[in-house]
Structure 1
Amino acid sequence: MHAEFDFEGDVVLVTGASGALGSAVCRAFDDAGATVCGTDVVEPGEDTELDRGEVSFYRGDLTDEAQAEQVVSGAVDAHGGLDALCNVAGMWQGGDPIDETDVGDFETVFDVNLKTMFLASKHALPHLRESGGNIVSVSARASLEGGEGDGPYRAAKAGVRLLTETIAEENRGAVRANAVMPSVIDTPANREMLPDADHDSWVDPADIARVVLSLSSDATPPTSGGSVPVYGEA
């Protein structure tokens, strides 16, 4: 059985839209009939939904509150409201043990992975309460336990999970909030970085995007505050 989603009439904002997962989420919502707004700090690549104008693009650095507020209000003003926010913006960065980690590297990882999610959610929530909307954010499998060499990343993604639970609790009956937890996503960049890995075990961004659609739809009405594994058969 193949599930079909209908987001006709819904306005969706996707952060990190220029990346592999963000663009897949934009494509999935666009295919399902939504009005899709994408935002990123970098311009979208060529021959994508954003590049072709099928998705409205709002350039902004969501680590800056003024820009985050401007992106959200721009999408709302242009399209009359907001029904879903997908917090996809993020980055992975390995590095040194904690006692050797530069504070600048720590701040960058937290800003890109957690602060963007906080600021986008903060300014989207008043509009989502009006529409009875949804937030889906990207955490990570690595957030479930400590590990060697990427502690700030694991801590930031754990923060995404906890903020998701908090938003869900604070907005019971008004806005649902959930997270997805990928591991290594099958992207050209990851294949180039890890050429000898078992690529068959990685998950396609399009498959993760379908989970994001499901959590944003009326197919999952009792699910809020959850963190859903999307790292394949483990």
Structure 2
Amino acid sequence: MPPTTDFTVDFDGTVAVVTGASGALGSATVDRFRAAGATVCAVDVVAPDDEDSSLEPDADTHFYEADLTDEDDVERLVSAIVDDHGRIDHLCNIAGTWRGGDPIEETDLTEFEMLVDINLKTAFLASKHALPHLRESGGSIVSVSARSSLEGGEGDGPYRITKAGVRLLTETLAEENRGAVRANCVMPSVIDTPMNREMMPDADHGSWVDPAEIADVMTFLCSDGAAVTSGAAVPVYGEA
């Protein structure tokens, strides 16, 4: 059954920055903010015309190519967005990836560092440089953690570690910016994406969460309806 949206959000006049915008969840979030009236700045290393991109920009969506693991590039990106649009109201930290693999004692350092860079460092740097502008607008940050971040497990320890870091980053941002900028995160179980279906063809896909449903929750957390919510890690498990 397709996801339904039962609430109305009005983001007219606001500017949303969505990282990881070319992926399944990122592009769904771009669509949701765009439908709510926001000017959307879609950020990724994968351009919209790439065959791996799910993003379909329109007149209200502006694509920015940036390496979010490079602080100089993030600083340049934020300056360009503010120069182009005058403000930042919402930051959605979606850039990320999943890797399974070996036990910790057999995990290559390069594999661990890659997950730290893509899952945690990107959220840290984007938040760091967007914060001054979010304070001016009384804005909000929503990041993507994971259900698996709540406990250790075999086979994907580095992934779980980085997603736990995103959750703690969220709580820290909420504490440090209380009354100025709200920070929350969502914790998906398995997201129903083409990549996940390819990697797990025999799984119960019906229990997975549709990206559009997660995008609805992220949009709500940036809205006035969640004005009293900060520092939360919201489960988005679907039927899993």
TM-score band by shorter chain is: over 0.9
Structure 1 pair 221–52 and aligned structure 2 pair: CA distance change class (3 A)? closer
Residues 110-165 of structure 1 deviation map (CA, whole Å, 9 limit, x = unaligned): 00000000000000000000000000000000100000011111000000000100
The 10-residue stretch of structure 1 (67-76 or 160-169) with the greater mean CA deviation from structure 2: 67-76
1:112 aligned residue (118, 122, 138): 118
8 Å CA contact 2:23, 2:55 repeated in 1:
no
Q: Distance in 2 between matches of 1:200 and 1:105?
A: 30
Instruction: Report the counterpart of residue 10 of structure 2 in structure 1.
Output: 6
**What is the one-letter code of the residue matched to 2:77?**
V
8 Å CA contact 2:38, 2:60 repeated in 1:
no
Tell me the secondary structure at the aligned position of residue 93 of structure 1: coil
Residues 43-94 of structure 1 deviation map (CA, whole Å, 9 limit, x = unaligned): 1257965444541011011000001111111111100100000000000001
Would you say 1:182 and 2:188 are equivalent positions? yes
Would you say 1:202 and 2:188 are equivalent positions? no
Compute the RMSD of aligned alpha carbons: 1.4
After superposing on structure 2, the runs of 4+ consecutive aligned residues of structure 1 that deviate more than 6 Å are none
Tell me the secondary structure at the aligned position of residue 25 of structure 1: helix
**What is the one-letter code of the residue matched to 2:150?**
L
8 Å CA contact 2:41, 2:81 repeated in 1:
yes
Q: Distance in 1 between matches of 2:172 and 2:229?
A: 14
Q: Distance in 2 between matches of 1:139 and 1:41?
A: 20
Query: What is the count of residue pairs matched by the alignment?
Result: 234
1:89 aligned residue (86, 90, 95): 95
**What is the one-letter code of the residue matched to 1:160?**
V
Residues 170-223 of structure 1 deviation map (CA, whole Å, 9 limit, x = unaligned): 000000000000011011111121111111100100000000000000001111
Q: Distance in 2 between matches of 1:77 and 1:54?
A: 16
Runs of 5+ unmatched residues, structure 1:
none
2:29 aligned residue (22, 25, 29): 25
Q: Distance in 2 between matches of 1:232 and 1:59?
A: 32
Instruction: Report the counterpart of residue 43 of structure 1 in structure 2.
Output: 47
**What is the one-letter code of the residue matched to 1:16?**
G
Q: Distance in 2 between matches of 1:149 and 1:95?
A: 5
Q: TM-score, normalised by structure 2?
A: 0.94
Runs of 5+ unmatched residues, structure 2:
none
Instruction: Report the counterpart of residue 213 of structure 1 in structure 2.
Output: 219
Shift of 1:233: 3.7
Q: Distance in 2 between matches of 1:64 and 1:126?
A: 19
